[in-house]
Amino acid sequence: MAQLMLGNIDEGATDEEIRAFLEKYGFPACQKIERVLGDGSRPAALVTFEGVDAAVLAQAIDACNAERSRPAEPGGPGPRCLLAGTPPPDRRLHEVAGRAGFTAVGPTLIETWTQPGAVVDVAGGDATMALARQVHADPAGPRSFADAGAALLEAIAESAAEAVVLWQIEEDEAQAWHLPAQRAALAGEGLPALVMTRRDWLARDGAGDEIAAFLQGVGR
């Protein structure tokens, strides 16, 4: 038996919708969904999978890897700007970059929740250890063990970015520990970069105007 805790579930989400979401990402059929009161404004759900062994887990990983291996959608026209740091709650910063003549690259918060991530390497056949290695090496989380500077350079290379906006919100204090490594990476790369820290999470502090002015200067 295995159990999975899902947090921040919409109160109106049905058991059928939760099952469909899990099956979309390769989870086996679950036998029980128990709603649990959460600390925030939304409850959690404890999902129980009966009879889940290493073979079933490996099958689920294979299904997710097939989803992960699909080619990425082509980006938009024009030069690219990497939006790094705290994933914004929506695409308002992307739209600012678009109006300045750039294609913004970087996920929103919701997109980070739904992206399947990198392919899981089940070398040696131990599916549980493979998942543990994946979680440990995941560079996406603010409390990640990965090298934040190296991850930023990799994102720059993959996106072919010509400019970088490193945006961190006030509430995302864990990102501050990554800032020195990210600043050093940006300095070594030599790309035009705008570093914005301790910002309002809805960009109500003039962030859009600052980003627009920065990108308009880059584009000259």
Q: Convert the pLDDT of each residue in 129-175 to its tens digit.
A: 888 787 777 776 666 778 899 999 999 999 999 999 999 999 888 88
Per-residue pLDDT of 162-178, as tens digits, reads 999 999 999 888 888 89
For 44, phi and psi rounded to 5 degrees? -115, 175
Cα separation, 70 vs 32, whole angstroms: 31
pLDDT in the model for residue 59: 83
**What domain range is 199 assigned to?**
80-115+126-218
Q: For residue 121, is it within any domain?
A: no
N-to-C CA span, the chain? 60
For 18, phi and psi rounded to 5 degrees? -65, -45
Q: For residue 75, is it within any domain?
A: no
Q: Are residues 105 and 6 in the same domain?
A: no
Q: For residue 193, is it within any domain?
A: yes
